[in-house]
Structures are given as structure tokens and as C-alpha cells.
Amino acid sequence: MNELVSIIMPTYKRSFFIERALKSLVNQTYKNIEIIVIDDNSEYIEERIKTREILNKYSEDSRIVRIENKTNLGGSLSRNEGIKVAKGQYITFLDDDDEYELNKIEKQYFFYKNKFGNNKGFIYCQIALYDKNNQRISSSKVYIDGNKNLLKAFMYGGQANTPSLFIDKNILLDVEGFEKLYCGQEWYLVLKILLKGYEVYHMKDELTKYYEHNEERITTNYFKKYEGEKKLYEIKKLHIPKFSKEDQKKNAL
């Protein structure tokens, strides 16, 4: 029997998007999943009520696990709460305003097993960018395999998108999950995994949809974003000496 895969989705002040995201999960072609929804709307009673109403529509689906944070934790720490309770051997993530292609989990599961077997590592897929009218704009355009190659790309300014990841839960526990940063939480998570020496493979399939919109996103406070960028720069400075002088010059590290 195929192994259980846990999908972790925090939600915060976006009840108007969450049902679209949920539909893309409950209708996955890979059926042995659990869907962990972490409601981070502790400060917004109206949003919590709306989120409950939407989730109640799926009350008969035993695969859905609902967690309501007592205090607002933010996206990163909410994902960590999901990791703690996840029962799946493998974990993926979804933001509440985006969605999966319906075969996302199935394709990633069998791709992972083909590449790693019973060994540990992680894979990531392409992400397609859509506008608010559901029109495709572009793709993420990242095609890097291998720990060392991706590590260099990340130090140079690589991007990470949590919905594209498919990863063994034990790896997330090994690196102690996400850090509480104002921005770049996904980037730092992947960096920590790469620095531990885990291998990575890329899928060319576009399996997640990222939507551009004008609604609130997690990092909307410009002061916090500035502070977050400074923190990421300090993190990069710590690891630059790990690269040769040639690599540093070539990649402008």
C-alpha cells in the first residue's frame, strides 16, 4: 500500500480563498493523504468563524485535521505545528491562496520513490504563476539537481516555494523545521536541509499554482520585510566561507 502523505496548510485572513485550495487537496488522485489545516486567525473572530464554516462542509472527510492556534503564530510556526502532528512519512505544504494540480501528490510520491527508494532527501517541482483571473503568466524556471549545485544557487539568491516541496518528515525534524523570520522562511528551511547534506532532485512538471492578487499576504509590513532581509543577509554571511574563492567571485557572494 502507498504510504501516507501529510499536506500542511496554514490559513490566515483569507477565508475567501481557502475553499479553492481545499478542493485541490480533497480531489487528489493520490488518496492516502491527510490534510492538516492550521487556523491562525486567533485575533480575528470573524475570519475564524468563516474558516470553520468552510471546513464544516468537509466534516465527513476523515482525512482533514483541523488545528486552531490559541495565539497568532505566523506562517512558519504554524507549519511547525502541522509537522508536529503529521502522521505521514512524507510532507508537502500549500498556502491557503494557492492550489495543487490534482495529480501533484501522486506524481511527486512516485518520482520520490524512484529517485530515493528508502533513502531520505527531498524533491521540488515547477510552480506556475497565475493572475487573479486564472490566466497563466509564467513558470518558476528552476532546473537544478544535486545538493552542491542547488546550494550554490541558493547562496547566490535562489528562490524556494514551500508548495513545490515533497520531503521526508524526518528531515524536517532533523533541521528543526521552519524559523520565525519576517521573510525568506522557505529559503532558510531549504538552506538548512542542503547544509545537512541531503540530496535533492527537480521535477520539470508544473504541479502547483501560485496566484498573484492584491489581497493581504503574510509579509505586508515594510519594516518587518526590511528587518527580514537584513537577517537573511546575516545568515548568508555565515556560510559564504564554505565556498571557494572562485565560487564566491563567480557568484558574487
**Domain housing 95:** 5-250
Domain tally, the chain: 1
State residue 219's pLDDT score: 46
Q: Residues 59-77: what's their mean pLDDT?
A: 94
State residue 235's pLDDT score: 74
| pTM summary value | 0.89
State residue 26's pLDDT score: 97
CA distance between the termini of the chain: 46
Q: 130-186 pLDDT, tens per residue?
A: 888 888 888 777 678 888 888 877 776 666 789 999 999 999 999 999 998 877 888
CATH code where residue 56 lies: 3.90.550.10
CA nearest neighbour of 218 among 208, 228, 207, 233: 228
In the chain, DSSP finds a helix count (H) and a strand count (E) of 9, 9
Chain mean pLDDT for the chain: 87
Per-residue DSSP letters for 113-167?
Answer: HHHHTTS-EEEEEEEEEE-TTS-EEEE------SHHHHHHHHHHT----GGGEEE
Q: Is the pLDDT of residue 192 over 80?
A: yes
Higher pLDDT, 194 or 239: 194
Residue 253: band (very low, low, confident or very high) from pLDDT cuts 50, 70, 90: very low
Higher pLDDT, 36 or 16: 36
Q: Cell numbers 515547477 correspond to what residue?
A: 126
